[in-house]
Chains A and B, each alone.
Chain A
Amino acid sequence: MELYEKILQGNVRAASRLIRNIEDDFPQAKESIAKIYPYTGNAHVIGLTGSPGAGKSTLTDGLIAAFRKEGKTVGVLAVDPSSPFTGGAILGDRVRMQRHAEDPEVFIRSLATRGALGGLSRAVGDSIHILDSMGKDIIIIETVGTGQQEVEIMNYADTVILVLVPGMGDAVQTLKAGIMEIADIFVINKADRDGAEMLKSEINILLDMALAADCDWRPPITRVGSKEDKRQFVKGIQEIALQIMQHNEYYSGNYKALKKRQRRKALFEIQAALQGIVMQFLMKRLAAENSLEDMIDQVISRKSDPHSAAREAVLKYLGQTLI
């Protein structure tokens, strides 16, 4: 049986192997994705993002439990950073989720960023398709701990949850462009700390001003207390799970917004694929003819500049003049 057939039957090992083949850039892996792609598009994809230590993994763990209680199957992709020096990584998001390790309906996979900058791994798009084709109802993507502008998650998730904690800066921080704009749901985590109420009103001020014209979904703001107070914590999680479903229903009932999101997601994936194919092709040709070293030398010695060098390469190997 082929790898993709096993995946369609829900085989965990086949799925984790294909994810790895994608990560390691095995050429045949893309063909397997092409085989499973017709079976995708059914899962609801949730993105969890926020600064390091905001509590993303703990919330993910809580959400897994909440969705399992409703009988839904869950896939999790947890992204942590790779070392820029060695390429190594410590993937530690599972620590908070290990109680679900043996649940056959939960599939958790850690991904290292491997040099990608948007807070995710380049393998994340295809990994979503793999979990989706296995039949997972819910897919949760946990980004790396993000700063102000790692917004790539919006191109993969149906619902983006931004996790904030009180005391991380003044009101101007919430006004800035970038990550604050992409949230469909705000979570104020560790809300038993000072400043939670203040943060909530700051977000509300932002929302009052910023609601996009074609979208009447107002992102709810949920406060979640420390998990030491288990009852309050679970209550907060249940509220978020409900809001996720409401957000999903909102989109299902709003054809224009749904189409817009679908088109944006598809365009992004096509662009990424084009970039990958063209880049790989050019790098291979340049390396084969040893022209890459020449290019580098010319740019360093100021005989050429990066843009002209790139344009020349495109002209030479793709036979096309670009702008």
Chain B
Amino acid sequence: MTQRRIRVLVAKPGLDGHDRGAKVIAQAFRDAGFEVIYTGLRQTPESIVATAEQEDVDCIAMSMLSGSHLTLMPKVTRLLKEKEMDDILVIGGGVIPGEDIPLLKEAGIAEIFTPGTPTSTCVEYVKNNVTEKA
């Protein structure tokens, strides 16, 4: 069986302009051999899902520092479900208070990586949890 090369969309929903975290994780994914689609700042959930569809990604990694993660991240998973694209692994990172994490997981965000997490942890997580597309 031919092996898939993992494709990840690194997205920044919301209005904050700080993309350093997103760029660091994009670089780490690249160095792990992933193909990273990087879309820049201020993406809407709709544009993230449309991009994921056009790019056929295995994983969407969202970085948020604006505080609107409880609104925007669940909206992405909801839209994915509506379009029957919920085989895509969704993860999040950024400044996210501990008490919000269970709520996000309940909404279908598989894992949240808070500041200080080694990038290798995120890489391993993605490798172990993406579903191989037929």
Nearest B residue to A108 by beta-carbon distance? B54
Interface status of B111 (Cβ within 8 A of chain A): no
Contact B133 A17 (CB under 8 A): yes
Alpha-carbon distance between A53 and B19 when the two chains are bound, in angstroms: 20
Binding stretch for chain A, among B35-43, B67-75, B96-104 = B35-43
Chain B residue nearest to A27 (CB atoms) is B2
> Measured between C-beta atoms, what is the minimum distance from A291 to chain B in Å?
23
B53 touches which one: A13, A20, A24, A27 (CB < 8 A)? Answer: A13
Report how far A107 CA is from B55 CA in the complex, Å.
Answer: 9
Instruction: Report whether B4 and A24 are in contact in the complex, using a CB–CB cutoff of 8 Å.
Output: yes
The answer for the CA separation of A17 and B85 in the assembled complex, in Å, is 12
User: Cβ of A102 and Cβ of B2 under 8 Å apart?
Assistant: no
Chain B residues numbered 1-21 whose CB sits less than 8 Å from any CB in chain A: 2-5, 7
Stretch at the interface among A88-96, A139-147, A221-229: A88-96
Known: A26-B2, A110-B37. A88 touches B29 (CB 8 A): yes
Q: For B54, give its contact among A12, A25, A83 (CB under 8 Å).
A: A12
Q: With a CB–CB cut-off of 8 A, which chain B residues contact A108? A: 51, 54
Q: Is B82 interfacial (CB 8 A cutoff)?
A: no
Contact string against B for A residues 4-37, beta-carbon threshold 8 Å, 1 for contact and 0 otherwise:
0000000011001101100111110000000000
A322 nearest CB across to chain B (Å): 29
**Can you list 8 A-B contacts (CB < 8 A)?**
A12-B54, A20-B4, A20-B56, A83-B31, A86-B31, A95-B40, A98-B40, A110-B37
Q: A residues within 8 Å of B by Cβ?
A: 12-13, 16-17, 19-20, 23-27, 82-83, 86-92, 94-95, 98, 101-102, 107-110, 112, 114
